[in-house]
A and B are shown apart, each in its own frame.
Chain A
Amino acid sequence: MSDETTTGLNHRKLLMWVFLGSDCMFFASLIGTYLIYKGSGVPHPGPVDVFDIPTTSVSTFVLLMSSMSMVFAYAYLVRDNIKAFRIWMISTMIMGATFLGFQVFEFSEFYFHHDLSPQTNLFGTTFYALTGTHGLHVTVGVIWLGIIFYSSLFRNTVTSKTNLDLDLAALYWHFVDIVWIVIFAVVYLFGTFTGFSAS
């Protein structure tokens, strides 16, 4: 990296890492709140009653694959292969939208078949707050990638020379992926294990 800045690093990229660090804190507060309140108050419906691990495993798989697709898009842009870059970008967006579809399906199942709303109990409140915030992050990511794709297709402004724009979007996308890795383990897998609660 040869940018002439005070740190020797590109400041936009440094700022993105600072932002991701602050977002870590944001999600930590939501995960912490979920953990301490999920077993409090009205006990049913709880995690054991509503979670469907096979379905969530598939949506996790889709999000992990979208991360692979994202790095492929970046790798091909750096190599000036715009056609391949666009294919992998579309693929990433489709997988991101599919993940959101899974989340909408899951929320509607919980709401209509298990009577779990954010007002039902503290588990519902903290669960919807945490996963809803993550879903919002994925939505922002899909829109961001859509804007880059549009710029590539109709304005020809996305090239290997401007790869930092995609690099920043990719960092955000992978961050959303790692947050889900934590949520999948802590909320879904640990959540349905009865021994995982406050003493």
Chain B
Amino acid sequence: MSADIKKHSNHIDESHSHPEPLTYFKVAMALIFLTALEVMVFYFEWLGYGIIPVLAFLSIGKFAIVVMYYMHLKFDSKLFTYVFLAALMLATVVILWLMALFGWFF
């Protein structure tokens, strides 16, 4: 059985579970649009502090699109999603905690 495992360990047939190239192209266009929007919003001085949630929302959107479609988490096993999300949440907590410790929020 171990020989079988070795034989198959380098081969994953995902050709049917992954999107078509056209979907990847559409995703790329969405990413370009969101980046252009980010840069545009950056020059809207009248937004004031409102720029922070807007840019954060746009960046999280881009991040999620790449992870779901280009990194295939939307189509792969949920275990991969759990492993990555757990680390991502911990990383976010570390950043927020450091910011709190150094007087960002108080």
Contacts and interface: CB of A to CB of B under 8 A. Distances in A.
Interface in B29-48: 31-32, 35, 38-39, 42, 48
A43 interface: no
A53 B102 contact: no
Contact of B98 (A8, A33, A67, A160): A33
Nearest to B59: A185
A169 interface: no
B12 A36 contact: no
A3 B83 contact: no
Contacts of B28: 64-65, 67-68
A139 interface: no
B35 A57 contact: yes
Contacts of A186: 59
Contacts of B99: 32, 35-36, 198
Contacts of A21: 83-84, 86-88
Contacts of B77: 1, 8-9
A198 B1 contact: no
Sort chain A's interface into a size bin.
Answer: 35 or more
B1 A28 contact: no
Contact of B104 (A61, A163, A198): A198
B43 to A, nearest CB: 8
B70 A27 contact: no
Interface in A58-75: 60-61, 64-65, 67-68, 70-72, 75
Interface string B88-102: 101110110011011
A79 B94 contact: no
A72 B66 contact: no
Contact of A28 (B24, B63, B91): B91
B20 to A, nearest CB: 8
A32 B8 contact: no
22 contacts: A1-B77, A2-B13, A4-B4, A4-B5, A11-B9, A14-B83, A17-B80, A25-B90, A28-B90, A53-B39, A53-B42, A61-B35, A64-B28, A71-B24, A161-B10, A163-B11, A164-B10, A174-B66, A178-B62, A182-B63, A190-B52, A199-B104
Interface of B: 1, 4-5, 8-15, 18, 20-21, 24-25, 27-28, 31-32, 35, 38-39, 42, 48-49, 51-52, 55-56, 58-59, 62-63, 66-67, 69-71, 77, 79-80, 83-84, 86-88, 90-92, 94-95, 98-99, 101-106
Given A3-B8, A64-B32, 5 more contacts: A18-B83, A25-B94, A174-B70, A184-B59, A190-B52
